[in-house]
Structure 1
Amino acid sequence: MPNNNTYKDALMHPIFEYISRASKKIQLDSYVIGGFVRDYFLKRGAPKDIDIVAVGSGIELAQEVANLLPNKPKVQVFKTYGTAMLRYNDVEIEFVGARKESYNEASRNPVVEDGTLQDDQNRRDFTINALALSLNETNYGVLLDPFNGMTDLESKIIKTPLNPDITYSDDPLRMMRAIRFASQLNFVIEAESLNAITRNAERLDIITRERIIDEFNKIMLSKKPSVGILLLHKTKLLHRFLPEVTNLQGVDEIEGQKHKDNFYHTLEVVDNISENTDDLWLRWAALLHDIGKAPTKKFDKNIGWTFHSHEFVGSKMVYKLFKRLKMPLNNKMKFVQKMVYLSSRPIVLATDVTDSAVRRLIFDTGEDIDSLMTLCEADITTKNPTKFKRYHNNFKMVREKIKEVEARDHVRKFQPPISGELIMETFNLKPCREIGQIKDAIKEAILDGKIANDYDEAYAFMLQRAEKLGLKIS
């Protein structure tokens, strides 16, 4: 229903005038609805996309708008969904006919019928996304707010328009979206709606992994990801797709000895790193850096709780996790693996910052050395101010040593000064084990600081090593 307030200022983008003219010409009502309206009232900046609902054919309206626009943009039509899309002034405008939906239990894909504006608002996920502004000549700019979405916006509340159990059971992805909006907007999910998410958590299993991860990545990119992750954990959604993380929760005690709760520690690390980087994959590395601790946890009566080789185990788990969740098995995954595997190296190094150890760290990390240091600094979650300061000062020394060693030895983009081809030519060899042995010996000598990273010293070292192997210059 209208609330008798008019917001023509929201409709300053020139596309709205064209849509209004097109609507009048083909005699159907049209409205801008959803995220554009919500974000206007939240003052979230210029839109990247606009959703238009037409009481009639959205495709026909899109084509008429394109005919009126001076640049005659191409209209992409999706007949299966009854939608159309065009671009104008770097904004995507999607058109859809007003509809009502019904669902069967095995799928989130609804049976769709033509409907009224009210039917279309009823099917929206949240009251704040059901807000609509009229684009019709008779009531241009009037707000239609049947579920008091403006009140919820002002109160910062996420609430479904209809029964939340039905809303979430029909399309379980809405549970992820509710938590994503709460995390992004710093809103609170209404109590009954939050309880309904918990009751319907198992329904998430009918959603494709790709869609789940798309929503989860938006949570990971929010200002404070732990807000959303804790809600996912509380409602048991996180257990459905990231058990490797939920398995970290809990503190065991034997003979009076405890270990920290690695789940809540992980959330602190994710929040810490999010203050310093918007890199999604580095944030994923923070989330997964300790996942190897659950399967490696053991109690030794002499030294207490141990997590031996948890970095190695965790890095192996990363591949399986990415594969299961249909995430990219490319350099992004390899980057996360590398960060998890090396996550403790700078911590050990901080107690004894030798040139040799720094060279090896730079060699193993390459161009990702700065990312690794950012992760390790985020991993400092102690509440003891003296320890906090000392740990950060130690990492500051490591960073300075990295700069010093890299400026002198150029290890970051390490290229062997002696190639396998040169070794074969020098000693008249065919491919054999000795070539690899010589190359490895040269690399180790450089990393240990026994020789400089240059051709002359490496060549002389090659001759010495070859002599020990019984090789002679041809």
Structure 2
Amino acid sequence: MNFAEIIYTNPILKRLSEIAQKTGIESYVVGGFVRDLLLDRPCKDIDVVCIGDGNGIHLAQKLSETVDNNTQISIFKNFGTAHVNVEDWDVEFVGARKESYQRDSRKPIVENGTLEDDQNRRDFTINALAISLNRRDLGALIDPFDGVGDLKRKMIRTPLTPDVTFSDDPLRMMRAIRFASQLSFDIDPDSFDAIQKMKDRIRIISQERIIDELNKIVLSSTPSYGFKLLYHCGLLQYIFPELVALQGVETQDGKGHKDNFYHTLQVLDNVSKNSNDLWLRWAAILHDIAKPATKRFDARVGWTFHGHEDAGARMVPNIFRRMKLPMNEKMRFVQKLVRLHLRPIALVKETITDSALRRLLFDSGEDLEALMMLCRADITSKNHEKVKKHIQNFNKVEQKLQEVEARDRIRNFQPVITGEIIMETFGLAPSREVGEIKTAIREAILDGKLRNDWDEAYSFMLSTGKKLGLSPVNN
């Protein structure tokens, strides 16, 4: 690969090299951009290492002066770094650093260093590659640890001894698995052994940093690979014990249940084939999370997990809170899908009522498509005929749901009679009676006993109020 030609043809790299040569600042493009260039992966993030104290900030300022006023520059003098957002590129400038660590912290003691020092401190050989922006060797690839060879071998390996690399910054253990999952690479045996040996060091890492790496694993094309690596190296027990609790098969009276850990990972992969939605993938991860708590053995039917959908939905907020996932509509979306994930399965019977279909439409609302995608992904049988039959049943359910929705418009519906109308009609303040009347109207509509029509609903409201001993204030 001719990196000099790439520099000349890439407008940002060309501008960077011209500034570096004009100012005389020794500069290199390092890390992920070089790696992705060699892998032919798109990348809009460029890391530039500059030799000499303050030169990274100086180079960033010079770059910002060459572009229009819309360019955003952020300077962090305490760290000697700067960030420039130019057009659709993110360019990070740092001074070459030499780092040392104390055992109880991942925050390094930083000194000015050489390019060699900077490459030594990188997490993996494939991220330690550098391209010169300097006149004397423009486009030269500096690869002291055979990162190019590791790219060809599809191998994640540390530049220095893995014990040192992971002890200095234990987050790198998560990053090793994240890169392996994203790139479909193997982890070097010595590096994987070091992760197994030092897994407890992950405790000093903030949950925010851990969940950032875990979400990137969840979003990889085959996330089960990353989770299996996390499980086998022992990290998963520290960061997600509820998922580990799903692992294993118990047998009693010759009856066993499936391994819910590997089933969950298969569901996650199935969802990932059809959606890049992070939160739908989290719903797949958590859909059976309460099975260990609800597992019971019945001599007649074998193992049961009654109520695991409701118990799982109750677990979701605590898991999100502990893992520093967002406690907002994202969490509520996951919680809803966990609670509802068995409902469509119950609708495959020919005798299912329109009322049951209306209730699923109402309860799932705008998330019905996501729910059905999760339910389809939940079919993991190795019996192809059984899978085919389940898919056909789901097709029938979806057809019935479409027919009911087209007729009744239940999804996200609001009864024409609101709480305000009830209070005004009966002269009530907010109270239990208002809630009872609202619920009765909604249930009657969902049961098909009442159309969501003003005259019908108003009359129903009056009759319900009468049963509660209420009279309209205008009568």
TM-score where L is the length of structure 1: 0.95
Alpha-carbon distance in structure 2 between the residues aligned to 1:395 and 1:146: 56
Deviations 1:10-59 (A, max 9, x none): 323222233223223332311001011000110012x2210000111211
Distance change in 2, residues 1:463/1:52 (3 Å): same
The reply on whether 1:17 has 2:14 as its aligned counterpart is yes
Identify unmatched segments of 5+ residues in structure 1: none
Q: Secondary structure at the residue paired with 1:277?
A: coil
- Which residue does the alignment assign to 1:460? 459
- Per the TM alignment, residue 431 of structure 1 is displaced from its structure 2 partner at its CA by 4.2
Q: Secondary structure at the residue paired with 1:84?
A: strand
Deviations 1:76-120 (A, max 9, x none): 111222111112221011111111110010111111111111111
- Which residue does the alignment assign to 1:380? 379
- Per the TM alignment, residue 429 of structure 1 is displaced from its structure 2 partner at its CA by 4.1
- Which residue does the alignment assign to 2:392? 393
Alpha-carbon distance in structure 2 between the residues aligned to 1:432 and 1:88: 57
Q: Secondary structure at the residue paired with 2:160?
A: coil
The reply on whether 1:49 has 2:45 as its aligned counterpart is yes
Alpha-carbon distance in structure 2 between the residues aligned to 1:353 and 1:393: 16
Alpha-carbon distance in structure 2 between the residues aligned to 1:404 and 1:117: 66
Distance change in 2, residues 1:249/1:25 (3 Å): same
CA contact (8 A) 2:263 2:380 kept: yes
- Within 5 Å, which residues of 2 pair with 1:142-291? 142-291=140-289
The one-letter code sitting in structure 1 at the alignment partner of 2:323 is L
Q: Secondary structure at the residue paired with 1:32?
A: strand
- Which residue does the alignment assign to 2:343? 345
Q: Secondary structure at the residue paired with 1:245?
A: helix
Q: Secondary structure at the residue paired with 1:313?
A: helix
- Per the TM alignment, residue 272 of structure 1 is displaced from its structure 2 partner at its CA by 0.3
- Which residue does the alignment assign to 1:98? 96
The one-letter code sitting in structure 2 at the alignment partner of 1:147 is F
Q: 2:59 aligns with which of 52, 58, 61?
A: 61
CA RMSD of aligned residues (A): 1.6
The one-letter code sitting in structure 1 at the alignment partner of 2:18 is R
CA contact (8 A) 1:54 1:98 kept: yes
Distance change in 2, residues 1:427/1:94 (3 Å): closer
Alpha-carbon distance in structure 2 between the residues aligned to 1:172 and 1:426: 65
- Which residue does the alignment assign to 1:365? 364
- Which residue does the alignment assign to 1:297? 295
CA contact (8 A) 1:213 1:325 kept: yes
Alpha-carbon distance in structure 2 between the residues aligned to 1:38 and 1:59: 24
The percent identity for this pair of structures is 57
Alpha-carbon distance in structure 2 between the residues aligned to 1:40 and 1:376: 39
- Per the TM alignment, residue 430 of structure 1 is displaced from its structure 2 partner at its CA by 4.5
Alpha-carbon distance in structure 2 between the residues aligned to 1:60 and 1:470: 79
The reply on whether 1:8 has 2:7 as its aligned counterpart is no
Alpha-carbon distance in structure 1 between the residues aligned to 2:353 and 2:70: 65
Identify unmatched segments of 5+ residues in structure 2: none
Alpha-carbon distance in structure 2 between the residues aligned to 1:366 and 1:380: 23
- Which residue does the alignment assign to 1:40? 37
Alpha-carbon distance in structure 2 between the residues aligned to 1:21 and 1:389: 61
Q: Secondary structure at the residue paired with 1:200?
A: helix
- Which residue does the alignment assign to 2:437? 438
CA contact (8 A) 1:125 1:167 kept: yes
Q: Which moved more, 1:151-160 or 1:25-34?
A: 25-34
Q: 1:126 aligns with which of 105, 117, 124?
A: 124
